[in-house]
Amino acid sequence: MTPLWLAEIELIVLIQRLPAWLEPVMEFLSFFAREEFFLLLLPILYWCVNPRLGVRVGIALMLSGGINAIAKLVVHAPRPYWIGSEVKVLSTEASFGMPSGHAQVSVGVWGVLVSGLRSKAAWWAAGIFAILVSFSRLYLGVHFISDVVAGLLIGLVFLLLFLRFEDRLTAWWQRQRLSSQLLLAAVISAGMLGITVFLEMVYSGWTAPQAWAHLSEVKPDSIDSLVGISGSLFGLLAGGSVMWRLGWFDIAGPLWMKVVRWLVGGIGIGIIYYGLKQVFPEGETLIPSILRYVRYALLTLWVQLGAPLLFLRIGLLKPTR
Look at residue 247 and tell me if it is in a domain.
yes
Report yes or no on 320 lying in a domain.
Answer: no
Mean pLDDT of 52-56: 91
Most confident of 93-102, 170-179, 190-199, 200-209: 170-179
The two most distant CA atoms of the chain are separated, in Å, by: 63
- Amino acid identity for residue 45 in this structure: L
Q: What is the DSSP string of 242-293?
A: HHHHTT--B--S-HHHHHHHHHHHHHHHHIIIIIHHHHSPPSSSHHHHHHHH
C-alpha span between 273 and 281 (Å, rounded): 14
- The domain containing residue 180 runs over which residues? 3-314
Does residue 27 form part of some domain?
yes
283 Cα distance to chain centroid: 21
Question: Is residue 221 domain-resident?
Answer: yes
Question: Helix or strand or coil: residue 203?
Answer: coil
pLDDT at residue 94 greater than cutoff 90: no
Number of domains in the chain: 1
212 in a domain, yes or no? yes
Residue 280 has pLDDT above 90, yes or no: no
- DSSP for 143-168, written as a single string: --HHHHHHHHHHHHHHHHHHHHHHHH
In a domain, 319, yes or no: no
Q: What is the pLDDT of residue 27?
A: 92
Q: Write the DSSP string, 63-77.
A: HHHHHHHHHHHHH-P
Asked whether residue 321 is assigned to any structural domain, the reply reads no
Its pTM surpasses 0.95? no
Say if 67 falls within a structural domain: yes
Indicate the pLDDT class of residue 214, thresholds 50, 70 and 90. low
What was the pLDDT predicted at 219? 72
Helix runs in the chain, H state only? 3-15, 22-31, 35-44, 51-75, 80-83, 101-115, 120-139, 145-175, 178-202, 224-245, 255-270, 276-279, 286-301, 307-314
Residue 321 has a pLDDT of 63
